[in-house]
Amino acid sequence: MTPPFPSRPRPIAGALRAALLGLALTAPLTLATIAPAQAQSAARSYQIAAGRLDATLTAFAAAADITLSFDAAQTRGLRSAGLNGAYTTAGGLARLLEGSGLEAVHRGQGNYVLRPAGAPPAGETTLKAMTVSANQLGEITEGSGSYTPGTIATATRLVLTPRETPQTISVVTRQEMDDFNLTSIDAVMAHTPGISIVTYDSERTVYFARGFDINNFQYDGIPMRRDSAYSAGNTLSDMAIYDRVEVLKGATGLLTGSGDPGATINLIRKKPTKDFHGEISLGAGTNDTYRGQLDFSGALNPAGSLRGRAVAAYEDKHSHLDGYERQTATFYGILEADLGPTTLLTVGADAQDNDPTRSTWGGIPIYDANGNFNKMPRSFNNGADWSSWQQYTRTAFATLEHSFANDWLVKAQFNHQINGYDAPLGAAASGNPDPATGGGISTWEGKYVGKTVADAVDLYASGPFELLGRKHELVLGGSVSKRRWTNRGYWTGGTAITDYYGWNGNLPEPDWNNLPAGNKYANDEETRESGVYAAARLNLRDDLKLIAGSRVLNYENETMKKSGVIVPYLGAVYDLNDQYSVYASYTTIYRPQGEQDAQGKTLDPLEGLNYETGIKGSFFNGRLNASLAYFILEQDNYAEATGGLTPSGGTAYRAISGVRTKGFEAEISGQLTPQWQVHAGLNHKISRQQGNKVATLTPENQVTLSTTYKPAFVPGLSIGGGARWQDKTWGNVSDHNSNTVKHTVKDYWLLDAMASYQIDKHLSVNLNVSNLLDKKYYTLFDWYSTYTWGEPRSAMLTLKYKF
């Protein structure tokens, strides 16, 4: 049996694993024996000067270590006498709010919201209307106007600020998405520090972090795996329905169980609002691209205890590629119901259809028949005129959460998702073209129809407890998931192309249903995962927090079954002062693999260790966050392509051990001044195995910058830009003589620009330009020795009306 950890002994790591396993097993007993925490904290000493009410409340929340959410309109024009002396949390808030007509309501786990004073008490079932800008997924970024988040919960289920989280996390907020017209997840990933993108073809992209591909997707914190070979909607997600995208760097096994060592992408959906508001936007861009979007939200009953939101978006995107276009339709609906003053039910559904015309498949052969770089025009489309990779998603979800008087919360989540595809594909992609005749190329022709149906349930309880005179936090949970993938595949022997350089996609479509039996196959695979997890945030001192936890994982699919795999987690955060903290974290990597070797045997699970340490800073009451991290990843059974094929014709891999990745990441996000927003990152990594570099399709160095500024001399105007640079990349590919050679892609810069103008309080106009200097660049698809051009310069003008 494969050991659950790398074979090289590490006594310290072994002791840590044993301690964390003990925590997971004894946490329920600990919870049963300790006294429940009091609803109000002990008195602390505060010195907060008189001033604007919003400023004094923000200063108090930071000093009291609570989350206080309110709408800016609630405190506009109000002042506070400040605070000087010892107060409990409740007493301090009451003092600051004297004479304001407002009161603070505790919603559990140190989360408070403001509402008008005199609203119905907690025991009544009719709730006064109020704006809630935070929940158990973290703080909502919509309406914040910020490029940095308030609180997040992706790493541990604990609702923490970025500074309190002992891992690197990058967040693209709603404001940044709106400013730079990031309407697709591809665009969001391009703006996320430390993420590189490799394009396989017109419908498939793969994201990489710290050198490794990301297939762990979460939706409101519920894990859903993506199969990049049979892509089905994940990397085509429209951003109209999401509040923010969180990218947690490093291994995330505590909550996801089996997972990738590079990162996890968590897409947080928009939530209903109590106050009615709506938005209509229309956009037009280069290459005959058009987009429309509707978004309505508000209370559905007079008391505001039932709230709803509906979003619809449609985009008709043509392209620089000859004959290519894609229509995308997205729909989203969500309802929130206050079943009582402390119980919230959420139900919702979303759907997206992606319907392309003349999809590419694979890319352009790197070399011609003479061994020279096969430089084709950026408009070249290798797809047949009938080639189309349709993808769709259907999701239904429900959440029930209840808060108790002792600040404990229980939350149950359910997610049902269907990711499907219907892909008749044909492309001129195989071989090396003869520059003189245009011959030497043949087609790939295949059809793939299938879907993945996934169900996931997660149940957890979280809250405070007291031990040794201090208040700590605990999370106890469990999850179950099932994924079933069904697929029908068809293929033909391909067709010789006599004039590759004159290719226009004219190719007869095969009669798929009447192919010989040997040219058809079917898949029906089911994967089950379950696990229990526990994590405690121990308040060792006022300036030192320790997060320790573990997950016990069970995994089963067609080729393997594993039970009782231990995935520990350990993190510590030490506050140097009110602005800076240092941190360190440790966890393990465990991911079952579907890759096969040349004999058709499935590779053993990827296993390893993840270490990270760094320093984080929070400035201007959390409006600006910064981090600097150093990380080490150690992996065994890493899948490396051999250049050969499996018995079934797929890409063959071999498992290599001792892959070690080192690197650092620096990131800053938020307000440098009230008029100046920035999101920037510098990332570096190197992966080696026995001294040789691996994971070289992704850059060793990256720079990412997005920034906007509102000049005071032109009220309503915002101007900004972005810059993205990546170092050279390379891969081992086949040349014109079928020899393995190293092909290098040079480093490159991409520049973006934006400008928006608020015409009045309802109407605004945005202009966005991507790849401003029209830089030519490409990415490698080394499996098939092909490349794909990046998109040339494009522009989009959007008119938006809010009410």
Collect all residues with Cβ–Cβ distance below 8 Å to 615 and sequence separation of at least 6: 580, 581, 582, 583, 627, 628
**Could you tell me if residue 508 is inside a domain?**
no
Which residue would you say has higher pLDDT here, 642 or 678?
678
pLDDT of 23 strictly over 90: no
pLDDT band at 800 (very low <50, low <70, confident <90, very high): very high
- Phi-psi region at 754: left, alpha or beta (left = phi > 0; alpha = psi -120 to 50): beta
d(CA 199, CA 56): 49
Helical spans, DSSP H, in 241-360: 253-256
Tokens of 688: 């080696």
Which residue would you say has higher pLDDT here, 152 or 400?
400
pLDDT of 574 strictly over 50: yes
pLDDT of 31 strictly over 50: no
Which residue would you say has higher pLDDT here, 48 or 442?
442
**What is the model's pLDDT at position 175?**
96
**What is the model's pLDDT at position 107?**
61
550 closest CA partner among 11, 18, 14, 1: 18
506-520 pLDDT tens trace: 999 999 999 999 899
**What is the model's pLDDT at position 5?**
26
Which residue would you say has higher pLDDT here, 490 or 44?
490
Which residue would you say has higher pLDDT here, 727 or 590?
727
Terminus-to-terminus CA distance in the chain, angstroms?
62
pLDDT of 41 strictly over 80: no
pLDDT band at 112 (very low <50, low <70, confident <90, very high): confident
Please state, in angstroms and as integers, the Cα–Cα distance from residue 127 to each residue in 122, 404, 406, 798, following that order.
Answer: 8, 17, 20, 38
pLDDT band at 121 (very low <50, low <70, confident <90, very high): very low
**Could you tell me if residue 662 is inside a domain?**
yes
Number of alpha carbons in the 13 Å side-chain half-sphere of residue 237: 24
Please state, in angstroms and as integers, the Cα–Cα distance from residue 307 to each residue in 46, 243, 334, 398, 565, following that order.
Answer: 38, 17, 8, 15, 42
**What is the model's pLDDT at position 50?**
80
Tokens of 766: 């945005």
pLDDT of 672 strictly over 50: yes
Which residue would you say has higher pLDDT here, 353 or 90?
353
**Could you tell me if residue 433 is inside a domain?**
yes
127-131-133 Cα angle (round to 5): 125
Reduced to 3 states (helix: H, G, I; strand: E, B; else coil), residue 130 is: coil
d(CA 616, CA 668): 10
CATH number at residue 293: 2.40.170.20
Query: Could you give the angle at which helices 89-96 and 53-64 cross, rounded to 10 degrees?
Result: 170
**What is the model's pLDDT at position 110?**
67
Hey, what amino acid is at 18?
Answer: A
pLDDT band at 231 (very low <50, low <70, confident <90, very high): confident
Reduced to 3 states (helix: H, G, I; strand: E, B; else coil), residue 59 is: helix
pLDDT band at 179 (very low <50, low <70, confident <90, very high): very high
d(CA 658, CA 519): 40
Collect all residues with Cβ–Cβ distance below 8 Å to 22 and sequence separation of at least 6: none
343-376 pLDDT tens trace: 999 999 999 999 999 999 989 999 999 999 999 9
> What values do phi and psi take at 139, rounded to 5?
-80, 135
Please state, in angstroms and as integers, the Cα–Cα distance from residue 756 to each residue in 162, 181, 354, 686, 724, following that order.
Answer: 29, 11, 29, 39, 21
Residue 791 sits in which domain range?
265-503+514-802
For residue 439, the 8-state DSSP code is -
Which burial class, exposed, middle or buried, applies to 343 when counting CB atoms under 10 A from its CB (0-12, 13-18, 19+)?
A: middle
Which residue would you say has higher pLDDT here, 71 or 235?
235
Task: Specify whether the CB–CB gap between 246 and 171 falls below 8 A.
Answer: yes
pLDDT of 656 strictly over 50: yes
Which residue would you say has higher pLDDT here, 709 or 601?
709
d(CA 63, CA 398): 35
**What is the model's pLDDT at position 259?**
63
Q: What share of the chain is helix, strand, coil (3-state, %, to 5)?
A: 10, 55, 35
pLDDT band at 75 (very low <50, low <70, confident <90, very high): confident
- Mean pLDDT of the residues in the chain: 87
Q: Which helix (H) or strand (E) holds 60?
A: helix 53-64
Provide the 10 A C-beta neighbour count for residue 269.
20
What average pLDDT does this structure show over 109-131? 53
**What is the model's pLDDT at position 248?**
93
Task: Specify whether the CB–CB gap between 318 and 289 falls below 8 A.
Answer: yes
Please state, in angstroms and as integers, the Cα–Cα distance from residue 332 to each residue in 139, 269, 329, 395, 396, following that order.
Answer: 21, 9, 10, 9, 10
What average pLDDT does this structure show over 239-254? 90
Give all strands (DSSP E) within 387-438, no chain letters: 390-403, 409-431
**Could you tell me if residue 162 is inside a domain?**
no
**What is the model's pLDDT at position 721?**
97
448-470 pLDDT tens trace: 999 999 999 999 999 999 999 99
Beta pairing class for 659-673 and 624-636: antiparallel
What average pLDDT does this structure show over 77-86? 82
549-551-554 Cα angle (round to 5): 175
pLDDT of 596 strictly over 50: yes
686-737 pLDDT tens trace: 999 888 898 899 999 999 999 999 999 999 999 999 999 999 999 999 999 9
Sign of the CA dihedral with 656 first, then 657, 663, and 665 last: positive
Q: Which helix (H) or strand (E) holds 756?
A: strand 748-758
Count up the domains in the chain and report the number: 1
What average pLDDT does this structure show over 46-62? 80
Task: Specify whether the CB–CB gap between 119 and 146 falls below 8 A.
Answer: no
For residue 241, the 8-state DSSP code is G
d(CA 234, CA 250): 20
**Could you tell me if residue 51 is inside a domain?**
no
pLDDT band at 135 (very low <50, low <70, confident <90, very high): low
pLDDT band at 39 (very low <50, low <70, confident <90, very high): very low
Give all strands (DSSP E) within 342-384, no chain letters: 343-357, 364-365
**Could you tell me if residue 140 is inside a domain?**
no
Sign of the CA dihedral with 108 first, then 114, 117, and 118 last: negative
**Could you tell me if residue 220 is inside a domain?**
no
**Could you tell me if residue 281 is inside a domain?**
yes
536 closest CA partner among 571, 567, 566: 571
pLDDT of 220 strictly over 50: yes
Percent of the chain whose predicted confidence (pLDDT) is above 70: 90
| Cβ density class 43-73: b for 16+ within 10 Å, e for less | eeebebeeeebbbbbbbbbebbbbbbbbbee
**What is the model's pLDDT at position 29?**
33
Task: Specify whether the CB–CB gap between 378 and 776 falls below 8 A.
Answer: yes
Number of alpha carbons in the 13 Å side-chain half-sphere of residue 679: 27
Which burial class, exposed, middle or buried, applies to 301 when counting CB atoms under 10 A from its CB (0-12, 13-18, 19+)?
A: exposed
d(CA 7, CA 279): 56
144-170 pLDDT tens trace: 899 999 888 887 888 889 999 999 999
**What is the model's pLDDT at position 126?**
34
